[in-house]
Structure 1
Amino acid sequence: MRFIFQTFLLCILQGIAIHVHAQLNPIGALYFQNQYLGNPAMAGRKGIDVNMGYRKQWSNMPGGPSTQIITGEYAFARNAGIGLNVSNETSGLFKSLRSVASYAYHMPLNENNTKLSFGLSLGFLNERLSREDINGDPNDIIVVNYNQKETYIDGDFGLAYTSNKLSVQAALPNIKGIFQRDLVNQSINHPTFFSAVSYKIDSENPGGISLEPKVVYRGIKGLNNILDIGANVSYANSKVNLFGMYHSIGSATFGLGMNYQSFGIIGIYSTNTTSLAAYSSGTFEIGLKASVFK
């Protein structure tokens, strides 16, 4: 019984550290390639987009966290779009499944593709312990009680002002934390807000190099707010793009992507925060994208 309790407590502490680290370094694709991940107001702006991503953290540690994500967006009307965002995370014994559906309305402000967008996501969050991976009694009452937790109703809300060059965003992720004050929401493992500003500088030559600097300001409950500064460089009508972001917590994210017709692939690497750099490797991420009916 003592062994089970100690194992469970160790997993709880490890899970908290992993969730905090995951929020400190979010999915890298949300900065430029798949902005719907950070803001539901960015869903369904043009045609159909399908994105898949896989991220592996701390690859040199057994049971290191991994994340699988799939999103789909569809502009079903001129000024409206829908989306689906499904993510599955595992870290040691912990498994988390989050699925939300989104609706976004894009209100045109003028004839120069300037829009004010509103987005809302609603779905569920399910957290469980993997009983088959427990080194002990999987029927222990602590494990049973944890796995009998109710599934949370969860969602996100976002705003966005976009034009051909300027983009200004603000979002409230995981809005269940605003209305529910249980023990889970008192932890320090969830974001409180997301905001971003970017400006695209196109080349004067068709097919030349374009530059998009971006500043992101994020909040994490119980921790200092995080400032991300970087830029995306694209070439040959966005067939090749390279981006980098520096995070105020002492880490950085780099990505290289290639697009061919309606398909794209991107590889992303994030260094660890300053406090973790000496103990484990960084985070590897790969993403695939298909875009049709633009």
Structure 2
Amino acid sequence: MIQKIKKQTHWRIIQRAGLVFVCVFMQLSHTEAQITPLATQYYQNQYVGNPALAGMSENLIVNLDYRNQWRAIPGSPVTQSFTADYKIKEKVGVGLNLYNDKAGLIRRTRVMGSYAYHLPLSGEKRSVHFGLSVGALIERLDDGSVIAAPNDLSAARYNERKAYLDGDFGIAYISDKLTLQGALPNLKKFLKKDISNSADGSTYFLSVAYNMGRDNDMVALEPKLCIRGARGFNNLWDLGTAIKFPNNLISLVGMYHSSNSTTLGFELNIENRVFFHGFYSSQLAALGEDTGGSFEIGFQLPLNIIKLTPANQGK
């Protein structure tokens, strides 16, 4: 009887240790995944990485993206992103940013609302933009996939953690040719709250881009340099360009990353009603071989919203 009790105790210890190991491993996997931003952040949907760019268009801009990283590895990260932003006044934009990803047993959901202020400067086509996103971050363990003893409450306790406040801050300077950006994602790190449980290692984002050409040119280039900070990693950088063809009917994107990986993609303009894009990123060198790289697909919908004004309220 005593030996049976000891065996059960040892088995519970092994199960709990295994669960802790899985959680730690998947948190590290999440961190690796999260230091790699969505490819649309570079050109197609820059609001997703900088709240200062919410409401830059007179239209309601809706973006939906799906990414599958390291698809050759079971439990590899899968990400879904939804954003919608709109200029409600001449100098004010608002946005909604939903982000969900799952790596192994851990699911992470982030819901953010954004406010941006757009300030024109003296001179032609020069402006400064400020933005703030505030919302909640929720991390949960897929206890339905956990193999453990019925009375092992480790997974349930992990899921009892409450959602906590999170936020992003961004700024941008935009002229006819030059675009400068800076963003501080995951403002919770400044609050010193629940940092150890966060799977997102991003600390800051900087970028500089220069537009070489006009919309009607046969070929227009927009080279871009990005610098990203990440907890526990050296500073990361991305260098590449967008190649745009007449009237933005099609554009190509190529980026090289300091992680020794490459991202290639395209965007197709379908009658200015739908913008479809797709990307492929080669595997991170640090992960070794046979990870399968990552695929990302999505689309953008510019929706024309009629604003109520004194001139049309009675119509």
- TM-score bracket, normalised by the shorter chain, equals over 0.9
1:10-25 aligned at under 5 Å gives the runs 10-25=21-36
Does structure 2 retain, via aligned residues, the 8 Å contact 1:188–1:223?
no
1:139 Cα deviation from its structure 2 partner? 5.4
Q: Which has the higher strand share?
A: 1
Return the letter of the residue paired with 1:219. Answer: G
Stretches of 4+ aligned residues off by more than 3 angstroms: none
CA–CA separation in structure 2 for the residues paired with 1:31 and 1:273: 18
Q: For residue 198 of structure 1, what is the aligned residue in structure 2? A: 209
- 2:149 is the counterpart of 1:143: no
Q: For residue 124 of structure 1, what is the aligned residue in structure 2? A: 136
Match of 1:280, SS state, is: coil
CA–CA separation in structure 1 for the residues paired with 2:45 and 2:245: 18
1:164 Cα deviation from its structure 2 partner? 2.2
1:238-249 aligned at under 5 Å gives the runs 238-249=248-259
Consecutive unaligned residues in structure 2, runs of 5 or more: 1-11, 306-315
Does structure 2 retain, via aligned residues, the 8 Å contact 1:188–1:221?
no
Match 1:43 to one of 51, 54, 65: 54
Match 1:165 to one of 177, 185, 188: 177
Deviations for 1:89-127, whole angstroms, at most 9, x for unmatched residues?
A: 111111111000000000000352211000000000000
Q: For residue 105 of structure 1, what is the aligned residue in structure 2? A: 117
If you compute each CA radius of gyration, which structure gives the higher value, 1 or 2? Answer: 2
CA–CA separation in structure 2 for the residues paired with 1:114 and 1:287: 30
Range 2-11 or range 44-53, more displaced: 2-11
Deviations for 1:220-277, whole angstroms, at most 9, x for unmatched residues?
A: 0111010111000010211101111111121111111101122111111111111214
Q: For residue 292 of structure 2, what is the aligned residue in structure 1? A: 281
Match 1:2 to one of 13, 19, 29: 13
Kindly, what percent of the aligned residue pairs are identical?
A: 38
Does structure 1 retain, via aligned residues, the 8 Å contact 2:35–2:200?
no
Match 2:89 to one of 58, 63, 77: 77
1:16 Cα deviation from its structure 2 partner? 2.4
Match of 2:269, SS state, is: strand
Does structure 1 retain, via aligned residues, the 8 Å contact 2:51–2:131?
yes
Change (3 A) 1:121 1:238: same
Deviations for 1:168-193, whole angstroms, at most 9, x for unmatched residues?
A: 001100001111244526x7742111
Range 2-11 or range 34-43, more displaced: 2-11
Range 238-247 or range 11-20, more displaced: 11-20
Range 7-16 or range 232-241, more displaced: 7-16
Consecutive unaligned residues in structure 1, runs of 5 or more: none
**Aligned residue pairs: how many?**
292
Q: For residue 267 of structure 2, what is the aligned residue in structure 1? A: 257
Return the letter of the residue paired with 1:75. Answer: K
CA–CA separation in structure 2 for the residues paired with 1:124 and 1:103: 15
